[in-house]
Amino acid sequence: MLGHKLHCVVSVSGIRGIIGDTLTVEQVMGLAQAFGVAVAHCERVVVGRDSRTTGPLLMQAVCAGLRAVGCDVIDLGIVPTPTVAIAVGEHKAFGGIQISASHNPSEWNALKFFNRDGRNVDQTQLDWILECYKDPPMGYHRRWDGVGSYREDRSALEEHFRRVMAAVDVNAIRSTRPRVLLDCVNGAGSVLAPRLLTALGCEVIAIHDRLDLPFPRDPEPTADNLKHLGALVRAANADVGFVQDPDADRLAIVDETGRYLGEEYTLVLCAAARLSAAGPNSLACTNLSTSRMLEDVAARYGARVERTKVGEANVVDGMQKHGAVVGGEGNGGVIDPRVVMGRDSHIGMALVLELLATAKAPLSEVVRTIPTYAIHKEKVALDRKAVSAAIPALKAAAWSQGATIDERDGLKLSWPDRWVHLRASGTEPVSRIIAEAPVVDQARELADHIRQATGALPAEY
C-alpha cells in the first residue's frame, strides 16, 4: 500500500492529482496512513471533504488508512477547508485532513493536511509524511484489537459560524441591509455561506448552492470563468457579488456595477478593514506574487507588510513570526487569525461587508480610493527544475538590470513601479508568470521577457 511512487502534484498546499490517473485510491489510503503515523502520532484525526463526486470514495480510503494505524477518526462530512482547521482544535485532535482539490477541475482531488495547531503542515512535516509513505516503519499496521475508532460529527460548522460572527461589527453590517449575490459553485460553502450572510442582515440571492449537483463551470473563480456574473449582479440590483471556490477558502468579488474586481482585491479590501481597526504599527502578511496594492493600503493606516514564499503554509509561518493581524494571498485567500489560521472565504465576505458599512459608500467607490495597477498572470509548461535552471540567464538579461532580486521562491524581479515573478506551481503541474505594472501592456511585456528567455509554451493540463 505505502511506497507506491507518486506522480501527482506534491506541496505544502496539498497532494493532488487526477483520480484514477495521477492519484489512485491506494495512494490516498497510503498517504493517510503515513500522515497518521508521522504527524498525528496515531491519535485522533478530523477529516472533511468538499462536494466532488470522488469525495465519498476518498473519505472511505482516508478513514480506513487512518484507522489501520490506530487513529481515532472523526468524519465531519462536507465542510469548507477552514472548518476542518477549526475542528482540529475543537476536538483536541492531533491533526486533520481535508479531501479537496480546491480550485482544480472536477476530475482532480487532493489531501490537505493540518497539524495539531490547526494549520497547514509545514515543509518539514510534509517531508515526514512523504518519507513515511516511501519507507513505512515496521509494525505501522495495528492488529484487529488496536485499530482506531470512527464516528461522525455534523456540527463543525457551528463553531466556524460563531467565530466569524464574533470577529466583525454585526450591527454595523445589519444597519446597511446589503443585498448580496452569492455563487457557491455547488461547493462546500453552500451551507455555511448563505446562513452566515443572512445572519449578518444581508438579503441573499444564492446561486449554485446545491451540494448534490456538479460544479456548473470551471470552478476556479477567475475573470474568464465568471463572465456571466456581472449581468446577474446588475439584474439583482445587488451591492456586491461573492464567489467561492469548491472548498470555500478563496473568495472573488464583483462590485455593484457588475465589474469583476479580481481575486487580488479580496485581500486588499479585507486588509483595509482589519488594519483600520488594528491601528498604526499593525502588520499584514502576504506572498511574493500578491499585488503591491496591499502596501498602499497598509501605508494608509500606518501599518506595514511582510512577504513570504507562495503557499498558505508559508504565509501562516510569516504571520506567526511577525504577529500579523491579517494575511493571505492574491488568489482570493484571506487569513484572519481570530477565526482560523488559514484561508477562509467566510471571514473574507464579512470583512468586506464591514468595510462597506464603515465607508458608507458603494464598493466601486471604495475600490477607486485604492491605487490601481495592471496585473498579468499566465501558466507555462515549465517544471521546477526548468525554472531553477533558467534563473541565472534571467538575472543576467539586459532587460532585468537594475531590478531587486528575490530568489526565495523561483525568481522575482522588482523595480520601483513594477515586478515580475516566475515560480513553479504548488497546486498544478505548471509554472506561473505573474507581472504587475502601471498599465497592462507593461505587465505583459515583463511576462513576454520571461517566456521568451525560457522558451516556455502555454500550459495545458
Cα 356 from Cα 172, distance rounded (Å): 9
How many angstroms separate the most distant Cα atoms in the chain?
68
420 with 447: CB under 8 angstroms? yes
Name every residue whose Cβ is closer than 8 Å to that of residue 414 and which is 6 or more positions away in sequence: 403, 404, 406
Q: Which of 13, 51, 100, 102 is catalytic?
A: 102
Q: Which of 333, 184, 331, 342 is nearest to 270 (CA)?
A: 333
Name every residue whose Cβ is closer than 8 Å to that of residue 180 and which is 6 or more positions away in sequence: 197, 202, 203, 204, 205, 238, 239, 240, 241, 242, 349, 353
Is residue 102 part of the annotated active site? The answer reads yes
Cα 421 from Cα 443, distance rounded (Å): 11
Active-site amino acid positions: 102
